[in-house]
Amino acid sequence: MELWYTGTRDASERVSASQAILRGLANDGGLYVPTEIPKLAVSMEELAEMSYQETAYEVMRQFLTDFTEEELKHCIDSAYDGKFDTEEIAPLTSADGAYYLELFHGSTIAFKDMALSILPYLMTAAAKKNQVKNEIVILTATSGDTGKAALAGFADVPGTKIIVFYPKDGVSPIQEKQMVTQKGENTHVVAIRGNFDQAQTGVKQMFTDAALAGELDTAGYQFSSANSINIGRLVPQIVYYVYAYAKLYANGVIRKDEKINVVVPTGNFGNILAAFYAKNMGLPIKTLICASNENKVLYDFFATGAYDKNRPFMLTSSPSMDILISSNLERLIYRITGNDAAENAAMMKRLAAEGRYEITPEMKEQLDDFYGNYAGEAETAGTIRALYEKTGYVIDPHTAVAACVYKKYREDTGDADTKTVIVSTASPFKFARSVTDAIGGSHEGKTDFELCDELSAAANVGIPQAVQELRGAPVRHDTVCEAEEMPAVVKRFLGIA
């Protein structure tokens, strides 16, 4: 059965999966969503026997129906290979009564690798399928992890260029070093003087700038996106929830059809939306626990039904969650309006004009699957320390936000018996300074690489190759601009200024 995609702000727009992946963003700035959520077509007994790659095919073929079996399997096998340092791709680790789904075993040691390893292959296959003649320009804003994972995925991929914008003082030193040392003749990295929301807004404005699109087309280019607003990012993320459940079942941790909780540290809402889609595919998930840091715009939304970005922007130890405009939430809003594109568009217009919108009580009733809470900076550090002292297991600040919120969920609901998967989104080595401080070390006068050495000894875990390669790597990208200069920078890179 062919599955189609429509825009969240204009339901009359209808495209195939490959077209949605190529475009990234709908013509009016909306996001592409499937016209329905397909059901899993294989049994849990079958899934329990499958590798990650086999699971990926069974999930993704339901969403990407205009890709042939050969095309899709080529994309999957090319993505989930030796660039991951564990055969399972996404292993589960049991610690202190929960199961940590480690999504950081790829080449950039963060969960974005799970989708961005495959997106370049999906995109180039989609371009060939749609007879695209233009060179594709991947335009992306990052709060830390997406940028490096996208750069690594698209580096020197024929027929593409990639331009990544990040907030100059809003990422960790290791994250910044990963981006500015990126190799690849087609890669460009730009720091903006501002925050992630300004970078993301600037990228969205360029996507909907008809005059700029015309200039690009004349020069032989067209934009696409590697952010989680691209459906080609979202669909691969569904896979690891299905895989995790199947492995818990295969290992005898849960009975068939037993419900689990999923805890996701959330900024742009894509990762937890993928879990929501997995639940709607038939995966037995009880509660989707949405964990925020001190930029708790999502916590407030789930508590009150009002989404309000008019608040101070906090720089925290979990920078990938330092976000006040959670773009992927729009896909959920569209769904709870009853797929009413006009109503959704009106709310997004209010968000752009006033910085807030409010859902109706009827819409809020449809959010019963979700629980929201947040962790402050002291709570985050305390969670890292407590888990390390109790079990020896070391987690990064984003994962610690999730673990802290899971504890609050149990206290608030009394639900201590449901098996729970906590999504571990980054290696602790990516945030060595914050993690070392949390477990009682001292970073005074030490480089991040020296702190990685100390952390390796404390956690009895080898330093990831992705970090080792950064030692002494030369800086290749040093462009800095104001947010309003972003279009001019893009045109200069593409030679059309």
The pLDDT assigned to 229 comes to: 86
Residue 226 has pLDDT above 90, yes or no: no
Residue 227 has pLDDT above 90, yes or no: no
The pLDDT assigned to 481 comes to: 97
Work out the average pLDDT over 132-141. Answer: 93
Work out the average pLDDT over 323-352. Answer: 96
pLDDT in tens, 465-496: 989 999 889 999 999 999 999 999 999 999 99
Residue 146 — very low, low, confident or very high, per pLDDT cuts 50/70/90? confident
Q: What percent of the chain has pLDDT over 70?
A: 100
Work out the average pLDDT over 46-74. Answer: 98
Work out the average pLDDT over 151-167. Answer: 93
The pLDDT assigned to 55 comes to: 98
Residue 134 has pLDDT above 80, yes or no: yes
Work out the average pLDDT over 333-361. Answer: 97
The pLDDT assigned to 309 comes to: 96
Residue 228 has pLDDT above 90, yes or no: no
Confirm whether 112 is a catalytic residue: yes
Residue 65 — very low, low, confident or very high, per pLDDT cuts 50/70/90? very high
Residue 497 has pLDDT above 90, yes or no: no
Residue 369 — very low, low, confident or very high, per pLDDT cuts 50/70/90? very high
The pLDDT assigned to 270 comes to: 94
pLDDT in tens, 398-441: 999 999 999 999 999 999 999 999 999 999 999 999 999 999 88
pLDDT in tens, 232-269: 999 999 999 999 999 999 999 999 999 999 999 999 99
Reduced 3-state DSSP string for the chain? CCCCEEECCCCCCEECHHHHHHHCCCCCCCCEEECCCCCCCCCHHHHHCCCHHHHHHHHHHHHCCCCCHHHHHHHHHHHCCCCCCCCCCCCEEEECCEEEEECCCCCCCECCHHHHCCHHHHHHHHHHHCCCCCEEEEEEECCCHHHHHHHHHHCCCCCEEEEEEEECCCCCHHHHHHHHCCCCCCEEEEEEECCHHHHHHHHHHHHCCHHHHHHHHHHCEEEECCCCCCHHHHHHHHHHHHHHHHHHHHCCCCCCCCCEEEEEECCCCHHHHHHHHHHHCCCCEEEEEEEECCCCHHHHHHHHCEEECCCCCCCCCCHHHCCCCCCCHHHHHHHHCCCCHHHHHHHHHHHHHHCEEECCHHHHHCCCCEEEEECCHHHHHHHHHHHHHHHCCCCCHHHHHHHHHHHHHHHHHCCCCCCEEEEECECHHHHHHHHHHHCCCCCCCCCHHHHHHHHHHHHCCCCCHHHHCCCCCCCCCCEEEEHHHHHHHHHHHCCCC
Report pTM: 0.91
Instruction: Quote the mean pLDDT of the chain.
Output: 95
The pLDDT assigned to 61 comes to: 98
Residue 181 — very low, low, confident or very high, per pLDDT cuts 50/70/90? very high
Identified catalytic residue from 39, 83, 112, 286: 112
Residue 147 — very low, low, confident or very high, per pLDDT cuts 50/70/90? confident
Residue 313 — very low, low, confident or very high, per pLDDT cuts 50/70/90? very high
The pLDDT assigned to 145 comes to: 79
Residue 308 — very low, low, confident or very high, per pLDDT cuts 50/70/90? very high
Residue 443 — very low, low, confident or very high, per pLDDT cuts 50/70/90? confident
Work out the average pLDDT over 341-362. Answer: 97
Work out the average pLDDT over 208-233. Answer: 92
